[in-house]
Amino acid sequence: MSKFYLTTPLYYVNASPHIGHCYTNIGADTLARFKRLKGDEVFFLTGTDEYGEKIYKIAHQNKESIKFFVDRASEKFKNLWKILNISYDFFIRTTDEFHQQVVKKVVSILFEKQDIYKAKYEGFYCIFCEAFWSKAQIKETEGSCPDCKRKVEEIKEENYFFKLSRYQDWLKRHLKNNPGFVKPKIRYNEVLGFLENNTLNDLCICRPKKRVSWGIDFPFDSDYVIYVWFDALLNYISGAGFFYCEEKFKKWWPADIQFIGKDILRQHAVIWPIMLRALDLEPPRVIFAHGWWKVGEEKMSKSKGNIVDPYNLIKEFSLDTIRYFLLREVPFGLDGNFSYSALINRANSDLANDLGNLLYRSLNMAEKYFLGKVNPLKKDIPEEFLPLIEELKESYVKNMDNVEFHTCLERIWRFINVMNKFVEEKKPWVMWREKRIDELEWFIYSLLEGIRIVGVYLYPFIPNAVNSIFTQLGVKVNEQLSIKKSEWQREAFCVKKEKPLFPRFNVS
């Protein structure tokens, strides 16, 4: 049994979760379910990022104690993951006591190694992004933050720095020797290009308490708290037991894949591996940066008022429709444009028509002609099915391992559509009329078995719908959850049709 450790970013608790946040976790959940299907032992970590001035200010504005605010906000994410059927193994909060201890320990180790040092800093600071900028960097934006465009503050202070620059050559070498370290390729090139064309500045890892009070205390200087990003990145090792549970840590580290959005690539593909290197720990095997969901070509944001609310969407369309749409519509590494018409189109054509209808009409025939009991007989797999089954056997695991969700779905649908065509061409009602009963039973059995196989492959994507498929087919759900079950079997079905799997929506 292999182990598989996967992580998602920790979500900031200052804003309500939107469909963009859901995307990362739905992708991660799909991969985790697939790995379990394959027989791997999986550790899936997600959680919330709770420190920083931004969060403190919002709690203050709401006239709430910060503890009350972060507890409630982090609970919101937990609830959302429940609604989205996210099968995480551990939910970490950066305010967890054990995480704070790990962060302090790391700072002490790096300080002792002289990878952390104190120095004077002069420059510009964006309170909102908690980021430092040089004069040159803000020149183009005429004194505003290059990221959020808010006004920056000029500051002069003493602070603690982490020696990123010391490890730049190592990171370049690591990238060159491991072309799969950052995926997809476009992001790999972006990171390598950045490292080749820039000299890394050391990273300021503290904020003076007079400016930012909500953070983990710096271990040996009580005037400072630790910078949120430095603290938050460490969740990936603290969540796996680093420092307090060596056995657990040895089992899980390095992470096999870390999912992030493309906007936080630098932190994960530059700062993070360097932090690990400085700690003499292995880098993660893969950093995978997915694209952005936009609305009408614009980034989703509260200020633009174009946030797509996951709760409303699920109520309107069902969870599996959303999960399917997000992973089918665009390749995981690219940007997508969210639109209701595209969603309705997928829901009606792929889910209600192709899959839902195939199941419904197959069960209908099984009940009508055989009272729900369908035997395998001694006939071969229909020749129309063979190439599709072979293709899926060849490609599914490979594509899933490469996080090519949309390709997998596209191939599964090729098989679904061949089955639909099979129904139309074979004309079962004629077989019935002409009393070709054996042939009819073989025909219906083939459809049910084909649908069962499709169910195994689809389980990581749309687990609720697949549960219903298996139940209607009369097979035990738990017994199907293994990739080995994608083989053609010869076991009788005893089916029971329920209401259609997916509803149809009006195109307005």
Nearest alpha-carbon partner for 128 in 145, 109, 116: 145
**Does 226 help bind ligand MSP (rule: CB under 6 A)?**
no
Q: Which of residues 39-58 bind ligand MSP (CB under 6 A)?
A: 49
For residue 239, the one-letter residue type is G
The region of 54-62, 106-114, 229-237, 434-442 touching ligand MSP under the rule CB under 6 A is 229-237
Torsion angle of C-alpha atoms 229, 85, 304, 57, degrees rounded to 10: -40
The contact pattern for ligand MSP, residues 182-221, with x = CB under 6 A and - = no contact, is: ----------------------------------------
Least separation in angstroms between CB 277 and ligand MSP? 17
By CB under 6 A, residue 324 contacts ligand MSP: no
Segment lying near ligand MSP (by CB under 6 A), choices 5-13, 356-364, 410-418, 422-430? 5-13
Residue 283: cis peptide before it, omega within 30 degrees of 0: no
Nearest-approach distance from CB 137 to ligand MSP, in angstroms: 20
Q: Name the token pair of 325.
A: 């749409």
Helix, strand or coil for residue 342? helix
Q: Which residues of 288-301 are buried (b: 16+ CB within 10 A; e: fewer)?
A: bbbbbbebeeeebe
d(CA 473, CA 495): 5
Shortest spacing between CB 87 and ligand MSP, in angstroms: 19
Interface characters, 112-141, with ligand MSP (x: CB under 6 A): ------------------------------
10 is a site residue for ligand MSP (CB under 6 A): yes
In the complex, least distance from residue 285 CB atom to ligand MSP, rounded to whole angstroms? 17
293 binds ligand MSP (CB under 6 A): yes
Relative orientation angle of helices 437-458 and 386-401, to the nearest 10 degrees:
10
By CB under 6 A, name the one of 264, 342, 418, 477 that touches ligand MSP. Answer: 264
| 458 lies in the binding site for ligand MSP (CB under 6 A) | no
Is the link from the previous residue into 460 a cis peptide, with omega within 30 of 0? no
The answer to whether residues 272 and 281 touch, using CB atoms and an 8 Å cutoff, is no
Q: Which member of 6, 20, 212, 404 binds ligand MSP (CB under 6 A)?
A: 20
- Tokens at residue 30, please? 């799909």
Among 91, 122, 81, CA closest to 319: 81
Name the token pair of 468.
């219903």
Q: Would you count residue 232 as binding ligand MSP (CB under 6 A)?
A: yes
Shortest distance in whole angstroms from residue 292 CB to ligand MSP: 4
Give me the least distance between CB of 233 and ligand MSP, in Å please: 5
Taking alpha carbons only, the member of 160, 172, 171 closest to residue 114 is 160
Q: Which helix (DSSP H) or strand (DSSP E) does residue 119 occupy? A: strand 116-126
Per rule CB under 6 A, is residue 300 in the interface with ligand MSP?
yes
Residue from 4, 6, 24, 131 binding ligand MSP (CB under 6 A): 24
Q: Using an 8 Å Cβ cutoff, are 34 and 457 in contact?
A: no
Give residues in contact with ligand MSP (CB under 6 A). Answer: 9-12, 20-21, 23-24, 49, 232-233, 235, 260-261, 263-264, 292-293, 300
